[in-house]
Structure 1
Amino acid sequence: MLRLVLVALLAVALSGALSAWLASRASEREAVRRLVGQQTEEVEVMARLLASKIEQSQKVLRTVAEGITPAMLNSPSSLEWLLQQGLPAVQFFDSMQVARQDGDLRVNLHSGRLEDVANLDPAERDALRRTLIGGKPLVSELVAGRSADARVMFTMPLRREEGQVLGVVAGALKLQSQGLLPPSMTLPGRDDSRLIVFTRDGTILSHPDPARILAKVQDEPGLGPVFAQWLQQAQPLAGRGTTTVQPHHIVSMAGMPLPQWLVARVSDSQAMLAPLAGAQRKAWWLAAAVIASAMALLGVFMVWMAQPLAHLCHSALQLANGGSCTRIAWPRATGEVGALVQVFEAQVLRSDRQRQQQAQLEGQFQAILDNASVGIAITRQGVLEVVGRQACQMLGYTPQELQGCPARILYASDDDYARLGARVQADFLAHGAFDGDVCFMRKDGSPVWARVQGRGVQAQDIQGGTVWILEDMTAVREAQQQQSWVAVHDPLTQLYNRDAFTGRMEVLLAERSARARTADPSAAPSPEGEAEGDGVMLFLDLDYFTVINDVAGHDAGDDVLRHVARLLESQVRQIGWAARLGGDEFAVVLPGCSLARGQAVADQLRAAVQAWEPSYQGRSFTLGVSIGLVVLDASLQDVPSVLYVADMACYDAKRAGRNRVETRHARDASVTSSGRMALGPV
């Protein structure tokens, strides 16, 4: 026992000294780490702030562009009045220019005053020309002169409704303006740290020392070598910050892809860590006192606790070796040993309850699998962990034959399995889930088609396991191969096409007209089509769909249309049907729905589309839908009338700000058989 105490005391002394030394080293590393993290976060925040200023400037310019009509480009007086008095957003910019498609500069406005178009800087003319040619918004490189005149130019194309570029509007902000880099941005200044903003070619845009603005960053102590190394490595301008620790400086940098700017924080490492040295000396003295006190206390308490601790160790070994919980004699002690005894006893009780709960949950889970109306399977790392009874019957296996087996056995070939894996990965990346038709191979070798919906056991984490829901679609698939099915369905979305929509609507309107003629004439009509059974039609037009087409490509646009079609079909197939009318326009018909129920369904569809954030080529997109709702009352006798009123309701939703539901009745619009309008894109 005495030797055990001496060894423990020696161990405490050595471990205490080593811990103090390690803590001293760790505190220094932690201080550097915190400083690095703080600086990295600071430059990232500053980069995001500046990027948001650029985005805000573009939004303001877009507001100005939306206020310029094609007629104004041919009327300089109207355009001048609009820019000087009609649009308050113009005051955001220090100067503005408007040019036509042929390059003719119509207005050159500086600080609210018109100037000769010949005074425009060549770099600004080049920015206008590039926007007219490319048809895309542009943020120019620095238009430099004196530091007081340096500015950045924003351009926005002016388009007709069909998308043709008819001109360009541009706004410029001075470098030191509140909209870009005001002098107050670098405050408060510190002797041991500098916040610097500079361009990709090394021109300083913001500096605590005003004399350094428009100078070269290569001359900055500490920052110059880091920037030169960054140029050699040709690193991209990503939003994430990077920090380099040098012998005398800590340099953090973060970039902004638009415009090509970088933000840097340069700190004097020796000055920043000077307070730590004094704190470490005090910590050494305090550690020595704590070690001595701990050794004294440990020597006293070890002798007192040795026997109960040995008893506890013996009882714990009995429990670990599978001994009966009721036969284990736990020591009756106080202090730490008593607390450990209570922990062991509580853990034994908790383990018993957990085993009971687990058995209950397993029984409930098995009941769900056995009685579910659809097939359910759970996979992890390509292995079938759980397979429900319906899924087994669909695939021709028993649960014992599938559970624990690789999912590859359900496919005809390795190529089929690999192609499906690529589809699943792409859909999870774009949508966070999978929804599609899959061809499996039954145990007897025959094919079976199923609609498969996959969700991660943990949201958007396909590696943590995936839950699959399978519905047998073999009969539906065979029907899709028939010529009659192809004639009435859209090949991209598998929804009804426009001709099928027209045919079904004509039947629906004819049936409603027949019921109206045979109805009791004394029955009072329900106001505004509120009666149960009138039915409603929804006209849906996607918002910002062209952005996805332009940025991510038409393949991504087609994927969006397919996904939206699946969403519409799953939401309304129990109460109605959906069709694709063309482009990004859809129709949903809800026979027998009241107005209130139809509005609720429309808002559910709108919320579902808004909640989905597709991701393509590493970029997330925002999508919305404008919905026009029309009540199918007796005054709507034919399909063109229904489409016209629904189209006008959708136009109301677009005009009111998009991503909303607007309702119209037949009395809200003048519809005649000779003057009906054809549907077009909204």
Structure 2
Amino acid sequence: MSAHGPVRSEGDVQRWPLPGPLVWQLVCLALLAMVLSGVVSAWLLARSAGQQALEQLQSQQTDEVEMVARLLASKIEQSQKVLRTLAAGITPAMLDSPALLQGLLQQGLPAVPFFDAVQVARQDGQLRVNLRNGRFESLAGVEPVERDALRRTLVSGKPMVSELVAGRASEARVLFTMPLLRSDGAVLGVVAGALRLQSQGLLPASMAPPQRGHSRLVVFTRDGTILLHSDPARTQTLVRDEPGLAQAHARWLAEAQPITGAGSTQRLPGYIVSMAGIPLPQWMVARVTDSGAVLAPLQEAQRQAWWLATASMALLGALVVLTMLWLAQPLAHLCERAQALWPPAPGPAPDWPRAGGEVGALVQVFQYLEQQRAHHQQQHQALAGRFQAILEHASVGIVITRGGRLKVLGRQACQMLGYTAQELQGQPARILYPSEADYAELGARVQAGFAAHGAFEGEVCFRRKDASPVWARVQGRAVQAHSMRGGTVWILEDITALRAARQHGAWAATHDSLTQLPNRQGLEQRLHLLLAERAQRLSVAPPVPSPEPAPAGQGCDGVVLFLDLDHFSVVNDVAGHGAGDDVLRRVAGLVQAQVRQIGWAARLGGDQFVVVLPGCTLAHAQVVAEQLRATVQAWAPAYQGRSFALGVSIGLVVLDTARDQVQSVLHAADMACYQAKRAGRNRVVVGDRHSPHGPDTP
């Protein structure tokens, strides 16, 4: 797997290992990436060049056929104007007198010599004049196609351009007709002017550019008769014999598209066909180009470029391989040294490779890891022991779940549920619930709680191993903030006895059904007992009067906090009373969690709460109050896709000799809270210790 070569290093001969499989894979990957990128780039470039050439050709052809169509349309319009001028000079009396008509046409009017032939017919269809090439000929010499065009104009009363009047290629002509109208719009007759197809006034041979091997300009009628072609021999033949144009014409007929002056281009196998229409005579102008002949020079240049690119890639690939193999020598040496780290190799460790850059940095990392590995293992074992001790001695049940399965369970949780940790670890959490419906309902509650509050808190009924129910107050938080994928930590507190006590009427009379906290009656009862105990102590051992006032926080038997939520009405108004009730339950849980170890909380009603801290000093109570305020402010509940910012105004009063009645204590705390509201909300205000009514006012 390695080769040996002489290297001078401190007088010894060291091995020069060959690169390992990873380096060879990287070399192959680099070569493959280089070849693929070169091939794909060249293909994309060639394809792009071909597409650009075809798109440019399409644009040029579309513009060309539109220009030719406009030119022919202008010629036809000019011919109609000339014929209209001639028609304006014919009176109703002339239609009844062929001599008058002949005299008019012999006067040398400019419109007469413009046409190769002129015919005039009355409204009854009788032909009155047949002038051809400056000579009057027999009326019987008018061809049926010309007579039909005259009759159609008499019937429709509109100018027309006839179909091609066939003959020899040099004698083919087109007939323009113009109705003769009275002042009331009635048709008196018709005048017709014929133009040879290849005359200067219509389609002279000079209009068609010289024939090119790969491109043809064609003018044809709607039925497919060619009027003008780059190859004069193709005139008066059919479009169906034109390669490329035949397919485009057939598709156009199948789609039944109207003839307009707007150009369009189609890409057909081997051809690019651009067409534009001339509406009045129903003619089409087309340019047909052999796309293979257009791209042939470009393809030849691309083939030469391919050979040059292949040679360049081969040379560059060889250079890349040699360079990577040379650069990989320190990495190969480092790989051998790293393999000696795990498992540890017996005997003295080989020297570390000497290199700079990334390899040098890796050398330093490996040296440090070798020194710290044992230390980290010891720390890991110590942390694991501490974590296990927490699980064994915690006063509440601790459960960690991930992916719907039980991963870690504390001793208290196992005892509460009647299982051992080995029986539950790795099992689906579903086995702890009475039914699938209960499990699904709890899942919906958990999702809603995490969506609204980033956590879950509620009362849950579990099924013990013996199938008996056990109720627990459950608090859940994600191991990783704002994500449940890393697992969830659950705190379980057995409340089975508490729920049984709630069934008695005495408990319901003194507790709030929404938050489960003591209500006003329960608060007054407990606060009355606290004040009575204080009065009894003072009667047995009255305080010794002192000439100096007691420092703040001394000489009191506790503190009462009066809490009033700020902006709570916004939640009710915007998200509804259901969201408002959820906020009250959550705030009650936050407050109770903060003061459970040092006091107790109650709900007076609405969004007002009271916290009683027996035996707490003023300084400590201020810290607790500020923590409560900050906790509520930091919490941002979300309902119906909208977050709400809440605050809490807190009034604080101490229990001293100035306040020995429940009502006076609550009134003073309420006044202090009111002062906090007036001072700007979301703050803590301490009531005046020497006044039984409330705080100092400025």
TM-score normalised to structure 2 length = 0.52
Q: State the partner residue of 2:489.
A: 467
Q: State the partner residue of 1:407.
A: 429
Q: State the partner residue of 1:416.
A: 438
Q: Does 1:342 align with 2:352?
A: no
Q: How does 1:185-204 map to 2 (within 5 A)?
A: none
Q: Deviations over 1:522-555 (max 9, x none)?
A: 3328547632542221111110000000000000
Q: State the partner residue of 2:669.
A: 646
Q: State the partner residue of 1:637.
A: 660
Q: Does 1:389 align with 2:411?
A: yes
Q: State the partner residue of 2:9.
A: none
Q: How does 1:202-601 map to 2 (within 5 A)?
A: 298=320, 324=345, 339=360, 342=363, 345-346=366-367, 349=370, 354-520=376-542, 522-524=544-546, 527=550, 530-601=553-624
Q: How does 1:107-122 map to 2 (within 5 A)?
A: none
Does structure 1 retain, via aligned residues, the 8 Å contact 2:402–2:488?
Answer: yes
Letter in 2 for 1:451: R
Q: State the partner residue of 1:616.
A: 639
Change over 3 Å in CA distance of 1:316–1:553 after alignment to 2? same
Does structure 2 retain, via aligned residues, the 8 Å contact 1:645–1:666?
Answer: no
Q: Look up the SS of the partner of 1:630 in the other structure.
A: strand
Q: Look up the SS of the partner of 1:636 in the other structure.
A: coil
User: 2:455, 2:603 → 1: CA distance?
Assistant: 23
Tell me the CA shift for residue 658 of structure 1. Answer: 0.4
User: 2:541, 2:352 → 1: CA distance?
Assistant: 88
Structure with max Cα Rg? 2
Letter in 2 for 1:381: G
Tell me the CA shift for residue 15 of structure 1. Answer: 4.1
Q: Deviations over 1:389-429 (max 9, x none)?
A: 22111111111101100011111111111111111111111
Q: Does 1:626 align with 2:646?
A: no
Q: Look up the SS of the partner of 2:557 in the other structure.
A: strand
Does structure 2 retain, via aligned residues, the 8 Å contact 1:492–1:562?
Answer: yes
Does structure 2 retain, via aligned residues, the 8 Å contact 1:331–1:341?
Answer: no
Change over 3 Å in CA distance of 1:14–1:581 after alignment to 2? closer
Does structure 1 retain, via aligned residues, the 8 Å contact 2:405–2:426?
Answer: yes
User: 2:550, 2:445 → 1: CA distance?
Assistant: 50
Does structure 1 retain, via aligned residues, the 8 Å contact 2:664–2:693?
Answer: no
Q: Look up the SS of the partner of 1:635 in the other structure.
A: coil
- Of stretches 655-664 and 630-639 in structure 1, the one that deviates more from structure 2 is 630-639
Tell me the CA shift for residue 462 of structure 1. Answer: 1.6
Q: State the partner residue of 2:625.
A: 602
Q: Deviations over 1:462-488 (max 9, x none)?
A: 222001111222222222222221111
Change over 3 Å in CA distance of 1:519–1:353 after alignment to 2? closer
Q: Deviations over 1:470-510 (max 9, x none)?
A: 12222222222222211110100111111111222222222
Change over 3 Å in CA distance of 1:523–1:551 after alignment to 2? same
User: 1:585, 1:311 → 2: CA distance?
Assistant: 72
User: 1:8, 1:567 → 2: CA distance?
Assistant: 57
User: 1:509, 1:461 → 2: CA distance?
Assistant: 47
Does structure 2 retain, via aligned residues, the 8 Å contact 1:311–1:330?
Answer: no
Letter in 1 for 2:679: A
Letter in 1 for 2:515: T
Change over 3 Å in CA distance of 1:593–1:21 after alignment to 2? farther
Change over 3 Å in CA distance of 1:305–1:330 after alignment to 2? farther
Does structure 1 retain, via aligned residues, the 8 Å contact 2:556–2:656?
Answer: no
User: Which runs of no fewer than 5 residues in structure 2 stay unpaired?
Assistant: 4-17, 45-308
Q: State the partner residue of 1:198.
A: none
User: Which runs of no fewer than 5 residues in structure 1 stay unpaired?
Assistant: 27-286, 672-682
Does structure 2 retain, via aligned residues, the 8 Å contact 1:439–1:447?
Answer: yes
Change over 3 Å in CA distance of 1:341–1:651 after alignment to 2? closer
Does structure 1 retain, via aligned residues, the 8 Å contact 2:331–2:359?
Answer: no
Letter in 2 for 1:462: M
Change over 3 Å in CA distance of 1:326–1:670 after alignment to 2? same
User: 1:466, 1:437 → 2: CA distance?
Assistant: 17
User: 1:584, 1:482 → 2: CA distance?
Assistant: 26
Q: RMSD of the alignment, in Å?
A: 4.2
Does structure 2 retain, via aligned residues, the 8 Å contact 1:532–1:593?
Answer: no
Tell me the CA shift for residue 337 of structure 1. Answer: 11
Residue from 681, 686, 689 that aligns with 1:658: 681
Change over 3 Å in CA distance of 1:370–1:335 after alignment to 2? same
Q: Look up the SS of the partner of 1:590 in the other structure.
A: strand
Change over 3 Å in CA distance of 1:316–1:668 after alignment to 2? closer
User: 1:360, 1:6 → 2: CA distance?
Assistant: 43
User: 1:337, 1:432 → 2: CA distance?
Assistant: 42
User: 1:347, 1:594 → 2: CA distance?
Assistant: 52
Q: Deviations over 1:360-407 (max 9, x none)?
A: 332332222122222111100110011112211111111110110001
Change over 3 Å in CA distance of 1:571–1:296 after alignment to 2? same
Q: Look up the SS of the partner of 1:581 in the other structure.
A: strand
Letter in 1 for 2:505: Q
User: 2:529, 2:408 → 1: CA distance?
Assistant: 46
What is the aligned length?
Answer: 409
User: 1:560, 1:373 → 2: CA distance?
Assistant: 28
Tell me the CA shift for residue 355 of structure 1. Answer: 4.5
Does structure 1 retain, via aligned residues, the 8 Å contact 2:664–2:692?
Answer: no
Change over 3 Å in CA distance of 1:651–1:601 after alignment to 2? same
Q: Deviations over 1:50-102 (max 9, x none)?
A: xxxxxxxxxxxxxxxxxxxxxxxxxxxxxxxxxxxxxxxxxxxxxxxxxxxxx
User: 2:628, 2:516 → 1: CA distance?
Assistant: 18
Percent identity for Structure 1 against Structure 2: 57
